Amino acid sequence: METSVPPGKEVLIAVMGVTGAGKSYFVREVSGHQEVKKGTSQVESYSFQHAGSTITLVDTPGFNDTTRTDTEVLAEICQWTSKTYKEERLLSGIIYLHRITDVRMDSSAVKNLRTFQKLCGRSALRNVFLTTTQWSKVTDQAEGEMRERDLCGERNFWGILLEKGATLQRFHGTRESGLKLIDQLVPKQPEALDIQDQIVTQKRTIIETDAGQCINEDLIEQEKRYREEIESLERERQAAVDEKDDQMKELIAEEQAKAQEKLEKAAAEKRRLAEMHAEEMRKRDIEKQREEERRKEEQREAQAKLEKAEAEKRRKEEQHAEELRKQQEREERRIKAEQERAAAEANRLAALHAAQIREQQEREARARREAQEKAAAEARRLEELHAAQIREQQERDARLRIEEQEKAAAEARRLEAIHRENLERSRRNRDRGGIGIRIGPIGFKIRF
């Protein structure tokens, strides 16, 4: 799957292939880092900026080197791939170089490619460029193209890898040609190599990885082959001894010595691989032990944390319960105080009410008394008034009577006066002749 690369992002590309294929040459030409050396013994990274991305080219030591065993080369590659895998720096591509000048696919090239395939794994093959190089050294272009076709047609060589997703490319020895390859790899989805997963995730030793197995099987096969060669040479040497052919005997002895040397070299490498395995196992056991101790320590810490958390929880619960209890007490006290206040208020209101009733009753009684007194006073007043009226009436009557009596008396006196006057007159009249007189409206006869 191809993705767009954010600007400034690192694009990691490994350059692999047999020794002398031109890996360091490619890295130097394309990255511009002139310090890249020939005869690479360690994995080295060289970064440069290109089209907004940081391109990191990784120069690797090649298998089948005369100065280093394949085991050492694989160990070196494992160390680098494990480190970058742990750093989550995955390869966006692998440029696998092969000299187009190589006339034939020798066993070391086939072996190297098989180890590479095991190291890489199926999914990373999508990002692999099987790249022929050193085309400038090809005199006959047609012959070079034919060799390229042979490389691709051979199932034991590139054929199977191309079938599984790898791509055929050419490097023409220039920076421009190299950058064209890089431009095609930049957008690719980075993939983990099988060896990264096997070493880091599955915690296998190098010999337990597919690539390690491949090297180990090859060493076993080499040992067997050299032993058989030595045995065969020994038979030939015996025949030469029997035939008393000293020259042949010497020649065979030389061949035997060479085969013996190769056998010892293969055996030594096998032992080295076994030692490395033992060493890795020891490290793995120590790591496991450390891991176990770390796990136990973590468990202890987790347990301590848990206990602390539980203690804290209990403390908080107790604190909460205490607070609740206090709150409850406060509430009870408040309710009690409230009740007491309410009772006091009820008493006060009852007392107030009783006082009001009493006051009311007193007021009413007072009002009644006052009303009675008022009524009595009124009655007395009326009685007195009545009596006064009666008295007044009586007095008036008496006065009237008196007045009448006085009047009557006055009348009587007047009449008497009149009478006396009349009498006087009569007497005088008698004295002169005397007669009865009528005085006023009321005629009465005065007798004498």
Binding site residues, ligand GTP, CB under 6 A: 17, 19-25, 38-40, 61-62, 65, 133-134, 136, 173
For ligand GTP, the closer CB: 108 or 123: 108
The item of Mg ion, ligand GTP, none sharing an interface with residue 188, based on CB under 5 to 8 Å by kind, is none
Helix (H) or strand (E) holding 111: helix 107-120
Within 8 A by CB and 6+ apart from 148, the residues are 100, 132, 168, 170
What φ, ψ does residue 259 adopt, rounded to 5°?
-65, -40
Q: How many residues does the chain have?
A: 448
Residue with tokens 């804290």: 312
1-40 footprint of Mg ion as x/- string (CB under 5 A): ----------------------xx---------------x
Minimum distance from residue 176 beta carbon to ligand GTP (Å) = 13
Secondary structure of residue 209 in the 3-state scheme: coil
Which of Mg ion, ligand GTP, none has residue 153 at its interface (CB below 5 to 8 Å by kind)?
Answer: none
How far apart CA 415 and CA 442 sit, in angstroms, is: 11
Strands 10-17, 91-99: pairing kind: parallel
Nearer to Mg ion, 25 or 226 (CB): 25
Give burial (CB, 10 Å; 0-12/13-18/19+) of 235: exposed
CB-nearest residue to ligand GTP:
22
Q: How far is the CB of 196 from Mg ion (least distance, A)?
A: 22
- Closest-CA residue to 13 (of 1, 29, 31): 31
State the binding partner of 22 from Mg ion, ligand GTP, none, CB within 5 to 8 A by kind. ligand GTP
**Binds 93, which of ligand GTP, Mg ion, none (CB < 5 to 8 A, cut-off by type)?**
none
Smaller CB separation from ligand GTP, 21 or 58 = 21
By the 10 Å C-beta count (0-12 exposed, 13-18 middle, 19+ buried), 40 is classed as buried
The residues, any chain, with a CB within 8 Å of residue 142's CB and separated by 6 or more, are none
Least gap, CB of 62 to ligand GTP (angstroms): 3
Pattern 36-75, Mg ion, x by CB under 5 A = ----x-----------------------------------
136 binds, among ligand GTP, Mg ion, none (CB under 5 to 8 A by kind): ligand GTP
Q: How far is the CB of 61 from ligand GTP (least distance, A)?
A: 5
CA distance 115 to 127: 17
Q: Is the dihedral of CA 372, 374, 378, 383 positive or negative?
A: positive
Do 15 and 60 meet the contact criterion of CB atoms below 8 Å apart? yes
What is residue 59's three-state secondary structure?
A: strand
Nearer of residues 29 and 223 to Mg ion, judged by Cβ:
29
19 binds, among ligand GTP, Mg ion, none (CB under 5 to 8 A by kind): ligand GTP
Per CB under 5 A, 196 contacts Mg ion: no
Please say which residue, 26 or 226, places its beta carbon nearer to ligand GTP: 26
- The label of the residue with tokens 């030793």 reads 205
Which residues lie near Mg ion (CB under 5 A)? 23-24, 40
